[in-house]
Amino acid sequence: MDYFVVEGPTPLRGTVRAAGAKNAALPLMAAAMLAEGRSVLANLPDLRDTRFFLDLLGEMGVRGELDGGTLTLDTTGGLTSTTAPYEIVRKMRASIYVLGPLLAVRGEARVSRPGGCAFGPRPVDLHERGMAALGAELAEEHGYIVARAPRGGLRGGRFRFDPVSVGATCNVLMAAVLARGESRLENCAIEPEVTQLVEALVAAGAHIEGAGTRTLEVQGVASLTPLEVAVIPDRIEAGTYLAAAAIAGGEVRVEGCRAGHMAPILAVLRDLGCKVTEHADDDDKAAAAEEAITCARTGPLAPVRVETQPFPGFPTDMQAQIMAAAALADGVSFVTDTIYPDRFTHAAELVRLGARIEVKNGTATIIGTERLQAAPVMASDLRASAALVLAAAAAHGCTEIRRVYHIDRGYERIEHRLTSLGARITRASE
């Protein structure tokens, strides 16, 4: 098992490039199942989760070819299986994304029910009820969701997501685009990753109105052409590296990210007292999309009050990183996760590093302290674990972080990127 060894304190300085967004790449990989032929996904991040998803698609007869950051998914000849086995689903809950495409293309699916994770039960009832709204019949068999479309295929329907759900919006939308007739999906998630899926499906021939809004009107079509899309930058990964400067001190520039996807994250970094600068290279049109953001810690951190919300609110995937910064702020901060009230496993690990945090009823109260001290800690939740690495870079002494496989799920070679910023971090095995 790999673990990280981090020497601190080391201020971080330099530039990193944002990778493609994991949470955009996964639904796009599933959407490739909807068309026969060769879909091309550029800027694909190289992560455990994308590799697992490639294995899962391979189980269904989708041939994947990764050339650098460009993935070609070939479904020529059709899908050869409609089962997502437990062995893969237990390692990656996003496997549930094959449910919609399988029902749409093959009229049946047998998908292992995803388990819980470090921060709660993670139900999939909205995925199931959304498919039922399109005429699917679902049953439970030994831990598998067994779904079947009506004779003649899925038919258009109406469904309202409550609560807002990123995954269920993507899944039900992928089923609806090939359903017969009209569908109206309400209270949809509008995260940039969801909007990219909508746009990629439209570019492949789907009839969807309302991209970027919470109401999607879909007119089913008989077939789609293969996808051609470049995955958007990962706003959470970018936010994590900017937060690194807040936590460990210094100045970090992230290139290739989109400030427009990160407004609430940048606002909180500014509330912490950091100097956040957005650079849009607008005098060079070709590079206009080549945005960059710099975060510099210019003095003591100020306490913050953060409440996570669905986009465009502050993302739950960034609350741990902000908690690590708040642990070093000059005052008392409050972090509330309204999406996952139990998503605080990192709090106890930060306390091991000397942070003063109390969690009650979905809110963490963080009493800032002068310094953190190294101690062995354990990664748990994917995004929170990155916060532990950043806290370790600020802590005095040598910190060992175990179960780093959680981190590899969502961050491309994090130790190389942090080393390029001056961190003293090595990966070891035991």
Residue numbers 330-349 binding ligand EPZ by CB under 6 A: 339-340
Assess 127 for contact with ligand EPZ (CB under 6 A): yes
Cα 7 from Cα 207, distance rounded (Å): 53
Assess 11 for contact with ligand EPZ (CB under 6 A): no
- Work out how close the CB of 343 gets to ligand EPZ at its nearest, in angstroms, rounded to a whole number: 8
Cα 427 from Cα 5, distance rounded (Å): 6
By CB under 6 A, name the one of 10, 23, 240, 321 that touches ligand EPZ. Answer: 23
- Output the DSSP codes for 378-402: E--SHHHHHHHHHHHHHSBEEEEEE
Assess 379 for contact with ligand EPZ (CB under 6 A): no
- Work out how close the CB of 167 gets to ligand EPZ at its nearest, in angstroms, rounded to a whole number: 3
User: Cβ closer to ligand EPZ: 96 or 274?
Assistant: 96
Is residue 171 within 8 Å of residue 100, measured between CB atoms? Answer: yes
Cα 189 from Cα 210, distance rounded (Å): 12
Peptide bond into 9 cis (omega under 30): yes
Assess 317 for contact with ligand EPZ (CB under 6 A): yes
Cα 31 from Cα 175, distance rounded (Å): 9
By CB under 6 A, name the one of 19, 44, 47, 94 that touches ligand EPZ. Answer: 94
- What is the amino acid identity at position 28? L
- Phi then psi for residue 359, to 5 deg, are -110, 130
User: Cβ closer to ligand EPZ: 182 or 186?
Assistant: 186
User: Cβ closer to ligand EPZ: 10 or 171?
Assistant: 171
By CB under 6 A, name the one of 43, 294, 316, 321 that touches ligand EPZ. Answer: 316
Cα 309 from Cα 296, distance rounded (Å): 26
Q: How many of the chain's residues bind ligand EPZ (CB under 6 A)?
A: 22
User: Cβ closer to ligand EPZ: 49 or 415?
Assistant: 49
Cα 379 from Cα 406, distance rounded (Å): 7
Q: Which residue is nearest to ligand EPZ (CB)?
A: 167
- Work out how close the CB of 272 gets to ligand EPZ at its nearest, in angstroms, rounded to a whole number: 21
Intra-chain end-to-end CA distance of the chain, in Å: 6
- Work out how close the CB of 94 gets to ligand EPZ at its nearest, in angstroms, rounded to a whole number: 4
Is 117 in the active site? Answer: yes
- Work out how close the CB of 121 gets to ligand EPZ at its nearest, in angstroms, rounded to a whole number: 7
Cα 427 from Cα 430, distance rounded (Å): 10
- Phi then psi for residue 2, to 5 deg, are -75, 150
Assess 233 for contact with ligand EPZ (CB under 6 A): no
Residues making contact with ligand EPZ (CB under 6 A): 23, 26, 94, 122-127, 163, 165-168, 189, 316-317, 339-340, 382-383, 410
The residues annotated as belonging to the active site are: 117
